[in-house]
Amino acid sequence: MNPKTRKERFVVVGGCAAGMSAASKAKRLNPKLDVLVFEKTPHVSYSACGIPYFIADLVRDASELVTLTPEDFRVQRGIDVCTRHEVVGIKPVQRLVTVVDLETRKEVCVGYEKLVISVGGRPSRPALPGMDLKNVFTIQTLEDGIHIKQFIDENHPGQVVIVGGGYIAMEMAEACCVRGLDVIILEKRAQILDGFETDIVEQVAAELKANKVTVETSVVIERLHGNSSGKVTSVAFDDKSVQAELVLVCAGLRPSTQLAAEAGVRTGNSGAIAVDWKLQTNVSNIYAAGDCVEVRNHVSGKPDYIPLGPTANKQGRVVGENVGGGTAKFPGVVGTSVFKTFGLAVARTGLECERARSLGFDADVVTVDAPARAGYFSRQQKIRVSVIFDKRSRRLLGAQIVGPDGVSKRIDIFAAALTNRMTLNQMAYLDLSYAPPFAPVWDPVLVAVNVARGKLR
């Protein structure tokens, strides 16, 4: 195809949150734009965060997690979506991508005027003997979730080993318990939930134990053993072994950058793709968004890798607006997240104390247990709030919360305060809502902030 005669085209490489948001926004702003999406899996525009609940059988059908199908995009939005198509090369000078149809193995070259790389991250998979055995799964795509649920439905395994102790592992521990499996978590670090304060982790660990989940920390996994059929049977670590009919590798996420690097796109110190405020890369006409991209951390002021769904959606909209003819900038994030495991909600935003100190802050932390609602409610329960702050400037640096009730509401207060660089003194006079069914007169947020202020007097 001659670049001079082709229609103006926006090519989207990767069709999940960031990619489809970019495609939709660009097409909405410029209906004459030819928007073409290539996605290597069978699905686009779905809730990856809903996968644990699908595996737990709380969501009965995978289609319930899908927002729009490829056909919906074609008919409703005029966007051409090609699933099971993988972009294997980008030629920036010629403005061409090389695409492989994974069904037919046919390879074609497609031209573009603008392009966004939104290929997400890839699950970390330790290079251990036996990792290629059957019944060993990672969890990233909807396709992964379908395979895991199908395996549990058809084989009724008795015991699962979860490799890793992050929030996905916590969600999957509950999902597997709901399905009747015995759960063992193996974490290489000294505690589960890396990046959380010890006081928060202790409460989560107690909740796991109460639900008969076995947790082993400071673990060095040696290998996975299998049988003559190539199915995993056990996991060996620290000179002992545990049986496993199913292994879930939840060892974190790494940015997928190989395709970008081969095209000359620069990565940052975080290992993810470096972009400017408009999410443009160093290569002309190429943007990047989503879990493959580093972001500006509002608290540290430095580039960071914080792969989260809401960030990917926002970044996609920024790219789409810029490609569609508008002007938009992505300011950054504070790293806010929340997850559920059994009867607890666990949330965080900003920096943890140890990391804040490593970045040069004079950081300290306080932790309080405070009622989430008025004390005379028979079902009122306490939540635990950790506040991280800078002793010199009194600036809020981060917060973490764990408890059965009212956690997500309160972490968002801290996230807004971090975004606006508020001090503890400013936070102490926030006008927060009060009614006995929802909060006490002194909200746990204000209790924790005032305890922190008292530590500085």
Per-residue model confidence (pLDDT) at position 6:
52
Domain range for 145? 125-251
CATH number of the domain that residue 160 is part of: 3.50.50.60
User: Which of 328, 314, 315, 270 lies closest to 289 in space, CA to CA?
Assistant: 315
Same domain membership, residue 118 and residue 170: no
In tens, the pLDDT along 265-290 reads: 999 999 999 999 999 999 999 999 99
Please count the structural domains in the chain. 3
Which CA distances in Å does 17 have to 20, 39, 68, 253, 256?
6, 12, 11, 16, 15
**d(C-alpha 381, C-alpha 370), whole Å:** 8
Same domain membership, residue 110 and residue 139: no
Residue 285 bridge partners (DSSP): none
Same domain membership, residue 446 and residue 410: yes
Same domain membership, residue 295 and residue 390: no
DSSP 55-102: HTTSS--GGGGBS--HHHIIIII--EEEETEEEEEEETTTTEEEEEET
DSSP 182-248: EEEEE-SSSSSSTTS-HHHHHHHHHHHHHTT-EEE-S--EEEEEE-TTSBEEEEEETTEEEE-SEEE
Let me know if 250 is a catalytic residue.
no
Answer yes or no: is 337 within a domain: no
Answer yes or no: is 379 within a domain: yes
Same domain membership, residue 296 and residue 365: no
Last residue of a domain, one of 323, 352, 379: 323
Same domain membership, residue 355 and residue 410: yes
Q: Can you give the pTM of this predicted structure? A: 0.94
Per-residue model confidence (pLDDT) at position 5:
46
Per-residue model confidence (pLDDT) at position 379:
67
Same domain membership, residue 439 and residue 388: yes
Residue 7 has pLDDT above 80, yes or no: no
CB proximity list for 296: less than 8 A, separation 6 or greater: 302, 303, 304, 331, 332, 333
In tens, the pLDDT along 208-250 reads: 999 999 999 999 999 999 999 999 999 999 989 999 999 999 9
CATH number of the domain that residue 424 is part of: 3.30.390.30
Q: Which of 16, 49, 109, 176 is catalytic?
A: 49
Same domain membership, residue 233 and residue 162: yes
Same domain membership, residue 448 and residue 299: no
Answer yes or no: is 263 within a domain: yes
Residue 2 has pLDDT above 70, yes or no: no
Same domain membership, residue 307 and residue 278: yes
In tens, the pLDDT along 145-177 reads: 999 999 999 999 999 999 999 999 999 999 999
Cα Dmax for the chain: 75
Answer yes or no: is 328 within a domain: no
| Span 133-152, average pLDDT | 97
Q: In the predicted model, what is the mean pLDDT of the chain?
A: 96
Same domain membership, residue 89 and residue 229: no
Answer yes or no: is 336 within a domain: no
